[in-house]
Amino acid sequence: MGIKIALAGNPNCGKTTLFNDLTGSAQYVGNWPGVTVEKKEGKIKGRENVTITDLPGIYSMSPYSSEEKVSRNHIIREKPKAIINIVDVTNIERNLYLTTQLMDLGHPVVIAVNMIDLVRKRGDTIDLEKLGKALGCVCVEISALKGEGCLEAAAKAVALAKHHTHGERPHVFGGSVEHALAHIEESIEGKVDGNYLRWYAIKLFERDERVREEVGLDQELLKHLEKHITDCEREMDDDAESIIADQRYKYIESVMQ
């Protein structure tokens, strides 16, 4: 069996440029089912057993736009063994928002810090080791445009895929959120794909309508979850969805320092 790796990132972060560099001419272009979003898959140069999929560009993993749905469904159904999350270093804070969400899914992630040529041009450097430690995953700097670091990023992803290495889950949320999430996880265990228990718990905490529908919880259980959510909201004096978004941004801010 070959290894499947997915390429995820915001629009315009350089996904297609990286994909082309990694696959050369060995690519297959089709369409994602049900949407008019191009689907590209290919074999990594010199690694015939590794298939890489260029996911649609997205800013978040909430299943609202068709691009987000396609990306999330691909990850959850095809279960790529590793994800290369490409981030545009010139816009790193916004890009890392998606990163925190990808990590909630629990797949091994390699962060390809792209457009490093622009950073160098400014005479700056990025401390990759520090960044990787703060984010709890492997970071590689690349210039997809110049073909620098691309194969190294792919090699790191293949290594994670082979060894099923998960980074340490970063501490994104505070105590009261984690407390609510733990209760929600406990309540939905066995009702959702266990691999994504945490992701479902976060979405249900946010009262995500689509996910509520998808999971199909009965009224009794919803009421029970609602109690944990409102307890946390009261404590934090904010609504659940904003609490999650706010804590993601605060976490990114702390990483950037």
Give the footprint of ligand GDP on this chain (CB under 6 A): 9, 11-17, 57, 114-115, 117-118, 143-145
Nearer to ligand GDP, 11 or 194 (CB): 11
Q: Does 27 bind Mg ion (CB under 5 A)?
A: no
List Cα–Cα distances, 245 to 46, 140, 242, in angstroms.
40, 26, 5
Identity of the residue numbered 88: D
We find the least distance from the C-beta atom of residue 52 to Mg ion, in angstroms, to be 13
Nearer to Mg ion, 75 or 181 (CB): 75
Nearer to Mg ion, 36 or 219 (CB): 36
Identity of the residue numbered 49: N
We find the least distance from the C-beta atom of residue 161 to ligand GDP, in angstroms, to be 22
We find the least distance from the C-beta atom of residue 170 to ligand GDP, in angstroms, to be 24
Binding piece for Mg ion, criterion CB under 5 A, among 10-18, 89-97, 167-175, 239-247: 10-18
We find the least distance from the C-beta atom of residue 23 to ligand GDP, in angstroms, to be 13
Q: Are 57 and 15 in contact (CB under 8 A)?
A: yes
Nearer to ligand GDP, 100 or 143 (CB): 143
11 binds, among Mg ion, ligand GDP, none (CB under 5 to 8 A by kind): ligand GDP
Q: Are 243 and 232 in contact (CB under 8 A)?
A: yes
114 binds, among ligand GDP, Mg ion, none (CB under 5 to 8 A by kind): ligand GDP
We find the least distance from the C-beta atom of residue 17 to ligand GDP, in angstroms, to be 3
**Beta-ladder partners of 50:** 3
Mind giving me the DSSP string for 134-168?
Answer: HHTSEEEE-BTTTTBSHHHHHHHHHHHHHHTPPPP
Identity of the residue numbered 227: K
For the chain, helix (H) and strand (E) counts, in that order, are 11, 7
Shortest Cβ contact with Mg ion: which residue?
16
Q: Is 126 exposed, middle or buried (0-12, 13-18, 19+ CB in 10 A)?
A: middle
74 binds, among Mg ion, ligand GDP, none (CB under 5 to 8 A by kind): none
CA–CA distance, 126 with 163 (Å, rounded to integer)? 27
CA–CA distance, 33 with 171 (Å, rounded to integer)? 35
We find the least distance from the C-beta atom of residue 7 to Mg ion, in angstroms, to be 9
Binding piece for Mg ion, criterion CB under 5 A, among 11-19, 134-142, 143-151, 205-213: 11-19
CA–CA distance, 132 with 141 (Å, rounded to integer)? 11
Nearer to ligand GDP, 141 or 208 (CB): 141
Q: Does 16 bind Mg ion (CB under 5 A)?
A: yes
Nearer to ligand GDP, 118 or 151 (CB): 118
Q: What angle do CA 67, 143, 44 make, to 5 degrees?
A: 65
Return the SS3 of 65: coil
